[in-house]
Amino acid sequence: MSISEMDFRPAVRPTPRSVRSLRDRRDELTTRVALGNRDAVARQHGLGKRTARERLELLLDEGSFVELEMFRRGTTGAHTDGVVAGSGTVDGRRIFVYAQDFTISGGSLGAAHAEKIHKVMDLAVATGSPIVSVNDSGGARIQEGVMALHGYGGIFRRQVEASGIVPQIAVVLGPCAGGAAYSPALADFTFMVRDTAQMYLTGPDVVAAVSGERVTHNQLGGADVHGSLSGVASFVHDDEESCLADVRYLLSLLPANNMEPPPAYPHPAGDELRPALPDLVPVEPNQPYDIRGVIAEVVDDGDFLEVHEDWAGNVVCALARLGGEVVGIVGNQPLVLAGVLDTAASQKAARFVRFCDAFGIPLVTLVDVPGFLPGTDQEYGGAIRHGAKLLYAYCEASVPRVQVILRKAYGGAYIVMDSRSIGCDLSLAWPTNEIAVMGAEAAVNVVHRKELAASADPDELRATLIAAYSEELVHPYYAAERGLVDDVIDPAQTRAAVLRGLAMLRDKRRRAPARKHGNVPL
């Protein structure tokens, strides 16, 4: 073909593009990304785990999810880079969320993956919305080296900056290893599912190599380990459905941010009298009972959400509603270690008190405490330091605070359990209350030890002295006569009295002193 013939040959035109063809291409790509790799999804299901998108469907209101950066790619080459991120609603209220996708490179975190999380966290703070993270990841993406570690650092910094501004909830539904475990630890609440969720800083292989100890993944960092031993997990569930349902329930009790009140619901008046209460608590101070029964009688409809149910059981911390308003409840549990305070209970209650104070949730403290747990294990383990955390938390709290003394309240533990001296606004006591440095019998043994040793009948003398001590210093009205208790109430009137107190304190305001921050005895 000559040059002249080539000059006049008709040009071959590409098929013209149209909006419809571009839309079809986009829809096909979107569907493909959303469906994921069929084999990888099957493996995930085979492990008894849902995919990231299936989990978000359970968590969020139907059709509310708005995904961000769906087509983002990183070193994996796959769209989303192993994390599904965006925003949706729970019961119509906005939250921001990200769910790691184990079907893409084991959900490992690289730079692009981290940047998506950073964006969601920044938007959550900017809009004043809670953050929920769904963790299912093998950890840092080794191929990206220090950039993966840099990504984690950005997450941790944002969590600290968001702390006390918006609620942060971590849901662990798979592995969460190495530095990644610090993210759930920094959250306000952490959920875990048995058998599939594990958290640890160093895995079983490293533990075996360093110490020779052989443990499985679940023995090292399973849900029950963190729910009952370490205290890292706030809630432990048997399956993902019940876990994510409880996340929704928790969100219904929390404000969107620290500038808004928790959601309130109308609750009909008229059921304030609770005649069952006097029979729930034995008059004898050494008889056990379940404080949960008292809580159920005081709160609306007997319904409350207990935090750290299986850890430090000698104190109960729960969120509930009173008259439709959200409250935080802290109560000694006589069923466990007689309700004493120890290192774990002090830490548990302190963190809960600080969370409630940060988000404007009033505190109701139910007191029945014989003291701090004695022993070298406790002293060597920092009982003083950990007890000071709870003391600090209450002293710093500026929300409305109501104390109800059910039975005994002895020694320093009485002071720490939100006594009048550390700033409680309203102190109520049942007629069964005993507020003293120690119990009458112990006090007599200390104060009158010489007389008892010299007595011909020490048992009779002890009984006489105990009766006299109780009549003079431990009777129900001793603290009220000195202004340390506002009222001695009929136990059946507890709910009504607490409701009146909270209504009186609703508009409480306290200006914090000018300072950068205090120094919590960590």
- For residue 301, give the 3-state DSSP assignment: helix
Backbone angles phi, psi at 63, to 5 degrees: 75, 10
Strand segments, DSSP code E, in 121-261 are 131-137, 168-177, 189-193, 198-200, 235-237
Exposed/middle/buried for 358, CB within 10 Å: 0-12, 13-18, 19+? middle
Token pair listed for 360: 């404007």
Does 412 participate in catalysis according to the annotation? yes
Cα–Cα distance for residue pair 227/220, rounded to 1 Å: 12
Given the residues 178, 323, 328, 439, the one annotated as active site: 178
Token pair listed for 508: 């409480």
Does 178 participate in catalysis according to the annotation? yes
Cα–Cα distance for residue pair 441/147, rounded to 1 Å: 64
- Among the listed residues 111, 107, 104, 112, the one whose alpha carbon sits nearest the alpha carbon of residue 133: 107
Query: Do residues 400 and 423 lie in contact, with contact meaning Cβ atoms separated by under 8 Å?
Result: no
Please, what's the largest Cα pairwise distance for the chain? 137
Output DSSP code: residue 314: T
Contacts of 388 (CB under 8 A, 6+ apart): 521
Q: What is the 3-state secondary structure (H, E, C) of 25-81?
A: HHHHHHHHHHHCCHHHHHHHHHCCCCCHHHHHHHHCCCCCCEEECCCCECCCCCEHH
Cα–Cα distance for residue pair 443/450, rounded to 1 Å: 13
Query: Do residues 80 and 99 lie in contact, with contact meaning Cβ atoms separated by under 8 Å?
Result: no
Given the residues 179, 293, 360, 382, the one annotated as active site: 179
Given the residues 412, 423, 442, 492, the one annotated as active site: 412
Q: What is the 3-state secondary structure (H, E, C) of 91-121?
A: CCEEEEEEEECCCCHHHCECHHHHHHHHHHH
Write out the H or E segment, with its range, that includes residue 278: helix 277-280
Cα–Cα distance for residue pair 174/410, rounded to 1 Å: 44
Chain centroid offset of residue 336 CA? 21
End-to-end C-alpha distance for the chain, whole angstroms: 87
Write out the H or E segment, with its range, that includes residue 302: none
Given the residues 344, 383, 397, 413, the one annotated as active site: 413
Residues with a catalytic annotation lie at 178-179, 412-413
